[in-house]
Amino acid sequence: AAAQAGTCMTLTWAANSSIEDVAATAPDGVKWLLIYMMKDRELVKAWVRRAEKSGFSGIVVTVDSPEGPKNYSIERNKFTLPSNLTIPNLGHKKYVLKSVDGNGNTKFVSAGNELFDGGVTWKSIDWLKKLSRLPIVLKGILTPEDARLAVEHGIDGIIVSNHGGRQLDGVQATIDALPDIVKAVQGKLEVYMDGGVRLGTDVFKALALGARAVFVGRPVIWGLAYKGEEGVRQVLELLREELRLAMILSGCGSLDDVTSSYVIPANQSARL
């Protein structure tokens, strides 16, 4: 659906479909691979090599959650992975899926160690940068200081993201963080945004404040749950049409015309 819409799809390492299967399904689509920095660097290296071989054009690294939070809602709901689903991209004999509830439902466990590397530093990112010629995009940047460091370390792009507010409660909304970050990088890398994008007007606002593009998660999942691939296509078409109408009604003839002059911070509108 993303390929047909002419847009990018980011595949997570934890997907229920393998890197190779997704690549075969949409060989001409723009595909990025989303990874975490793991303690097992050979696993990270394998993901990157598989992505390169499969025609992926970028690597996205989640940097705002080197360790998962204490998620009480998941614990209360006793969330487990249904037995018919697996994580094929792990592909490593020392990582297994182990039954926890007696019904065949499963969850991640590793042989004695947690998967994620909670001690990730900029040196870790430098290692990844040297590993591949693919563009590296950091997901989870919320401050101008980190954005400038990304420039200094030769990163190709950043995604202004707060992980949907699910990792650290009370973090800044991405649309509020975006303008200062765009100003800080001075066009030296591409800035994208995700978080709370539900309408084409949300896309318009992000573009106006300097984002090169936006990423959407939940709307796509909702479309998938509603009607599979066709549902995803409908969601993407709806967002594009809403953006088109927002541009027309704002008097913007092209994306280049969408500038910050078209948006006013909510806390200022009351004073107009």
Residue numbers annotated as active site: 163
Residues 6+ apart with CB under 8 A from 182: 191, 209, 210, 211
Which residues, at least 6 apart from 224, have a Cβ–Cβ distance to it below 8 Å?
231, 232
- Give the pairing of strands 106-110 and 95-99: antiparallel
Give the span between the Cα atoms of 60 and 48, in whole angstroms. 10
The secondary structure of the chain in percent helix, strand, coil, rounded to multiples of 5, reads 40, 15, 40
Half-sphere exposure (Cβ direction) of 60: Cα atoms closer than 13 Å: 25
Q: Which of 121, 122, 94 is nearest to 108 (CA)?
A: 94
Residues 6+ apart with CB under 8 A from 32: 8, 9, 10, 11, 56, 57, 58, 59, 60, 137
Is 161 exposed, middle or buried (CB count within 10 Å of its CB: 0-12, 13-18, 19+)? buried
Helix (H) or strand (E) holding 174: helix 174-185
- Cβ–Cβ < 8 Å for 38, 113: no
Would you give the end-to-end CA distance of the chain in angstroms? 42
